[in-house]
Amino acid sequence: MRKISDTIARLAALKPRDPGSSGNLGAPDRLSALTGFGSNPGALNAKFYLPDDLPEGAPLVVVLHGCTQSAAGYDHHSGWSQLADEAGFALLYPEQQRTNNPNLCFNWFQPADVKRDAGEALSIRQMIEAMVKAHSLDRKRIFVTGLSAGGAMAATMLASYPDVFAGGAIIAGLAYGSAKTIPEAFDRMRGHGSPSDEELRRMLRDASPHRGPWPRISIWQGTSDQTVDVSNAKAIASQWWGVHQIQTAPTHTRTEGKNTRQVWRDASGEVVLEVNIIAGMGHGTPIDKNGYGTPGPYMLDVGISSTQEIARFWEIADGEARPSAGSKRRDIVVYSPPPIGTQSNAGPRMPARSPEVSTAPKREASPASGVQKIIEDALRTAGLMR
């Protein structure tokens, strides 16, 4: 275990600069509040968006914002509601509260919040059910995506409720079950100490009684991400190889501009997994300001609209995403897996301010002991815990 002082220093960097900030980034709010959706054990808020004249049987996309962000801010900067207007699907935005997490992070590293039918995971499941019933949406076309802590929570929802989702997209996120404590969360983000491939697959299989068919998964990661190490993309992909019964080597690889896309097909020829590695991109959601989305904190204009590409991967939006200006496309078939996330990162690094984890105590938190108690006592002294 790393030194306690190091862990406390990293935790202290997470203290919100402005506790009163909504995380909206001044963005226009196109979303409506969803209330009365269930017992809400995770104490989350919920927002939604419905295009005009949405027909019965439309798809539903669940979008999970990153830390320091709001539902409205993420919607504006990602362009999801703009695409929903054009393609005809509903949107659901679970939203974190500061009383749960001072930095508005979904608590992907808290065991009580990531289990099926418990905590934040159950709150999100209840929101989905309320939306489906209220707006006659298609239960066979429900999808989930998220950035960073929201990406890790998207991985949680896909693992805990694979019977609910047809597909998912994890942007700069982490594999389900990869961390169960705050120190572990920091280590996993930095690319240290991830569970073995076999353990990751076991945790996915054990997360629910479901045995298939499984959701199709899209993974997005920048090579220059200083918050969530690129190696986490491989960990997520490895976790899903087992349930999809696919080879570790991708079926197909395509490089277009900054993006290298690896694709895996199952025995029937269906695409069930893709990994998009974007050269030189830092921590955030890739957008194209000339297409869908608006640049902002953690919303990065790299000339690639992940929103459009993800919806196309799920087959709920038509058309090819436009290539970036001056990009060159190469299609190759490969027979051994190119390394996902093997770039040298000049050793361990700690971001000056990580938006991934926070330390607010949660509903009915269990008593801490040993090293964890020492950490929490120090955090209370620093004003980071109550």
Domains by residue range for the chain, with CATH:
4-381 (3.40.50.1820)
Token pair, residue 117, equals 């039918």
- Position with higher pLDDT, 380 vs 285: 285
pTM: 0.81
Where in the sequence numbering do the catalytic residues fall? Answer: 148
pLDDT at position 14 is: 46
Closest CA to 106 of 68, 74, 149, 47: 149
What does the alpha-carbon distance between residue 331 and residue 253 come to, in Å, rounded to a whole number? 6
> Cα–chain-centroid distance for residue 136?
26
Encode pLDDT of 78-87 as tens digits: 999 999 999 9
pLDDT(114) > 50: yes
Q: Is the pLDDT of residue 110 over 60?
A: yes
Q: Indicate whether 318 pLDDT > 90.
A: no
Whole-number pLDDT of residue 197:
96
Q: 255-264, 320-329, 372-381: which range is least confident on average?
A: 320-329
Percent of the chain with pLDDT over 70: 75
How would residue 319 be classed by pLDDT, with cut points 50, 70 and 90? low
**In this predicted structure, which of 121-135, 185-199, 264-278, 336-350 has the lowest mean pLDDT?**
336-350
Using CA of residue 286, residue 297, residue 154, residue 202, what is the dihedral sign?
positive
Tell me phi and psi for residue 294, to 5 degrees. -135, 130
Q: What pLDDT does residue 212 have?
A: 85
Q: When comparing pLDDT for 201 and 331, which is higher?
A: 201
Is residue 364 scored above 90 in pLDDT? Answer: no
In angstroms, what is the C-alpha Rg of the chain?
Answer: 20
Mind listing the pLDDT tens digit for each residue in 163-214?
999 999 999 999 999 999 989 999 999 999 999 999 999 999 999 999 889 9
- The region of weakest confidence among 152-161, 270-279, 345-354 is 345-354
The string of pLDDT tens digits covering residues 5-52 is: 455 445 444 444 443 344 555 567 999 999 999 999 999 999 999 999
Q: Which residues of 173-194 are buried (b: 16+ CB within 10 A; e: fewer)?
A: bbbbbbbebbbbbbbbbbbeeb
